[in-house]
Amino acid sequence: PYGLDIQIDTPRVYRLEQIPCALSWKTVCALLESIDQKTLIGQRDYTIFHLMATYGLRCSDIVALTLDDIHWHRNEISISQRKTGEILLLPLTDAVGSVLQHYLQHGRPDSVYRQLFLRSRAPEGPLHRNAVTRSFHAWVERSKLDIPRHGAHCLRHSYAAHLLHLGNSVKVIGDLLGHQTVESTCVYLRIALEDLREVALSMPQACSEQHAQEVLS
């Protein structure tokens, strides 16, 4: 009957109630290796997901990268975090430097745009974050790997879990992710609650379930 639905007490669902998806590092590496780099799109996408996996970058941050953000002489890469507005300086590793050099020499077309990653189809222009998600789904499907239906953001969660497995503290992981609060990092680390018991830096009371549900990833 009309109005009956509003009388039904439905369960409340919080935005972050579900455990974040994190892939094993072996799966992340297998996914990267499955990307066909013989094509221009493949070279671009491999570089994108290599950077996302290496640094735990958000889609919005990866598409905002420009040629000027790669500081070759200082061996640094600067990330303008769209979510926080903060600049995150990260080390330019030898592996990332090699991947970037190959992409810039063989995969990136000449363009008036300074953005690092460009559209593969007309009109020419910077890549959109939605295109990163679509590409991720496409490569996952091609890889035939057993990966749940999640977006490219799962690489960020996978990176956080990988850092934890390597023995890094919650504080170090948060700094590398560019988090402004420990609570945000704790949300990511819900994916490895058992491992948290091995970390020297204990989780603060603010990382309780109630608080974690309210923190944006």
Q: State whether residue 152 is helix, strand or coil.
A: coil
Dihedral pair phi/psi, residue 89, rounded to 5°: -95, 125
123 upstream amide cis, omega within 30 of 0: yes
Q: State whether residue 208 is helix, strand or coil.
A: coil
Q: CA dihedral in degrees (38, 39, 43, 48; nearest 10)?
A: -130
The two beta strands, 70-71 and 87-91, are unpaired
What are the catalytic residues? 58, 83, 153, 156, 179, 188
DSSP H or E run through 77: strand 76-80
Beta-ladder partners of 70 = 77
Q: Are 48 and 115 in contact (CB under 8 A)?
A: no
Quick count: other Cβ atoms within 10 Å of Cβ 142? 12
Q: State whether residue 182 is helix, strand or coil.
A: helix
Q: Give CA–CA dist 131/202, Å, rounded.
A: 38
